[in-house]
Amino acid sequence: MASFDVIIIGGGPGGYVCAIRCAQLGLKVGVVEGRDTLGGTCLNVGCIPSKALLHATHSLHEAEHNFAKMGLKGKSPSVDWDQMKAYKQETIDGNTKGIEFLFKKNKVTWLKGWGTIPAAGQVKVGDEVHEAKSIVIATGSEPASLAGVEVDEKTIVTSTGALVLNKIPKSMVVIGAGVIGLEMGSVYARLGTEVTVVEYLDAITPGMDAEVAKAFQKILTKQGIKFILGAAVQGATAKGGKAKVTYKLRKDDSEVTLDTDCVLVATGRKPYVDGLGLEALGVEMEKRGQVKTHHFATNIKGVYALGDAIVGPMLAHKAEDEGMALAEILAGKSGHVNYDVIPGVIYTTPEVASVGQTEEQLKEAGRAYKVGKFSFMGNARAKAIFQADGFVKILADKDTDRILGAHIIGPMAGDLIHEVCVAMEFGASAQDLALTCHAHPTYSEAVREAALACGDGAIHA
Ligand code: NAI
**Strand pairing of 403-410 and 344-346?**
unpaired
Q: State which amino acid sits at residue 36.
A: D
Residue stretches of the annotated binding site for FAD: 51, 115, 139-141, 308, 314-317
- Residue 422 in any domain: the answer is yes
| Residue 307 and residue 248 share a domain | no
| Residue 134 and residue 14 share a domain | yes
Domain extent, residue 410, equals 344-453
Q: Do 413 and 421 touch, CB atoms closer than 8 A?
A: no
- Residue 369 in any domain: the answer is yes
Phi, psi for 226 (deg, rounded to 5): -100, 140
Residue ending a domain, among 241, 267, 293, is: 267
- Residue 336 in any domain: the answer is no
- Residue 125 sits in a domain of what CATH number? 3.50.50.60
Residue ending a domain, among 267, 302, 319, is: 267
Angle between helices 47-61 and 179-190 (to 10 degrees): 40
Whether 268 is in the pocket of ligand 1, judged by its Cβ within 6 Å, is yes
Burial of 237 (0-12, 13-18, 19+ CB in 10 A): middle
| Residue 316 and residue 261 share a domain | no
> Which atom, in ligand 1's list, is nearest to the CA of 313?
32
The SS3 assignment for 69 reads: helix
Q: Do 386 and 66 touch, CB atoms closer than 8 A?
A: yes
| Residue 35 and residue 102 share a domain | yes
| Helices within 114-192 (DSSP H only) | 159-162, 179-190
Residue stretches of the annotated binding site for NAD(+): 176-183, 199, 268
Return d(Cα 197, Cα 185) in angstroms, integer: 8
| Residue 78 and residue 137 share a domain | yes
- Cα(268) to ligand 1 centroid in Å equals 4
Residue-level pLDDT at 384: 98
- How many domains does the chain contain in total? 3
| Residue 348 and residue 441 share a domain | yes
User: Which residue out of 141, 180, 288 has the highest number of ligand 1 atoms within 8 Å of its CB and is therefore the one to mutate?
Assistant: 180
Spatial CA neighbour of 79 closest among 97, 53, 40: 53
Return d(Cα 278, Cα 295) in angstroms, integer: 18
Whether 179 is in the pocket of ligand 1, judged by its Cβ within 6 Å, is yes
CA-closest residue to ligand 1 atom 41: 346
Return d(Cα 9, Cα 30) in angstroms, integer: 9
Half-sphere exposure (CA, 13 Å, Cβ side) for 457?
A: 3
Q: State which amino acid sits at residue 375.
A: S
pLDDT digits over 32-81, tens only?
999 999 999 999 999 999 999 999 999 999 999 999 999 999 988 999 99
- Residue 149 in any domain: the answer is no
- Cα(375) to ligand 1 centroid in Å equals 28
| Residue 170 and residue 129 share a domain | no
| Residue 139 and residue 23 share a domain | yes
- For Cα atoms 74, 78, 80, give the angle at the middle one, nearest 5 degrees: 150
- Cα(181) to ligand 1 centroid in Å equals 7
Half-sphere exposure (CA, 13 Å, Cβ side) for 243?
A: 29
Residues in the chain: 461
Return d(Cα 459, Cα 440) in angstroms, integer: 13
Specify which residues 407 forms β-bridges with.
354, 393
Whether 178 is in the pocket of ligand 1, judged by its Cβ within 6 Å, is yes
- Residue 335 in any domain: the answer is no
Whether 177 is in the pocket of ligand 1, judged by its Cβ within 6 Å, is yes
Residue stretches of the annotated binding site: 51, 115, 139-141, 176-183, 199, 268, 308, 314-317
| Residue 69 and residue 46 share a domain | yes
| Residue 127 and residue 19 share a domain | yes
The reported pTM is 0.97
> Which atom, in ligand 1's list, is nearest to the CA of 146?
18
pLDDT digits over 186-202, tens only?
999 999 999 999 999 99
- Residue 150 in any domain: the answer is no
- Cα(204) to ligand 1 centroid in Å equals 10
Mean pLDDT, 10 residues at a time, the chain of 461 residues = 96 98 98 98 98 98 97 94 98 98 98 98 97 98 96 98 98 98 98 98 97 98 98 97 98 97 98 97 98 98 98 98 98 97 98 98 98 98 97 98 98 98 98 98 98 98 95
pLDDT digits over 383-442, tens only?
999 999 999 999 999 999 999 999 999 999 999 999 999 999 999 999 999 999 999 999
- For Cα atoms 420, 426, 428, give the angle at the middle one, nearest 5 degrees: 65
- Cα(266) to ligand 1 centroid in Å equals 5
- Residue 148 in any domain: the answer is no
The SS3 assignment for 62 reads: helix
CA-closest residue to ligand 1 atom 27: 268
- Residue 461 in any domain: the answer is no
Residue-level pLDDT at 237: 98
Whether 343 is in the pocket of ligand 1, judged by its Cβ within 6 Å, is no
Residue ending a domain, among 281, 296, 330, is: 330
Per cent of the chain over pLDDT 70 is 100
Report in angstroms the alpha-carbon separations of 448 from 80, 239, 264, 371, 408.
42, 54, 39, 13, 12
| Residue 280 and residue 257 share a domain | no
DSSP line for 291-328: BP-BTTB-SSTTEEE-GGGSSS---HHHHHHHHHHHHH
Whether 314 is in the pocket of ligand 1, judged by its Cβ within 6 Å, is yes
- Residue 448 sits in a domain of what CATH number? 3.30.390.30
Residue-level pLDDT at 76: 84
Return d(Cα 214, Cα 230) in angstroms, integer: 15
The SS3 assignment for 360 reads: helix
Burial of 74 (0-12, 13-18, 19+ CB in 10 A): exposed
User: Which residues, at least 6 apart from 281, have a Cβ–Cβ distance to it below 8 Å?
Assistant: 117, 119, 120, 300, 303
Residue-level pLDDT at 113: 98
> Which atom, in ligand 1's list, is nearest to the CA of 269?
28
Whether 42 is in the pocket of ligand 1, judged by its Cβ within 6 Å, is no
| Residue 364 and residue 224 share a domain | no
Distance between terminal CA atoms of the chain? 67
Active site residue 440: yes
Residue-level pLDDT at 95: 98
- Cα(42) to ligand 1 centroid in Å equals 15
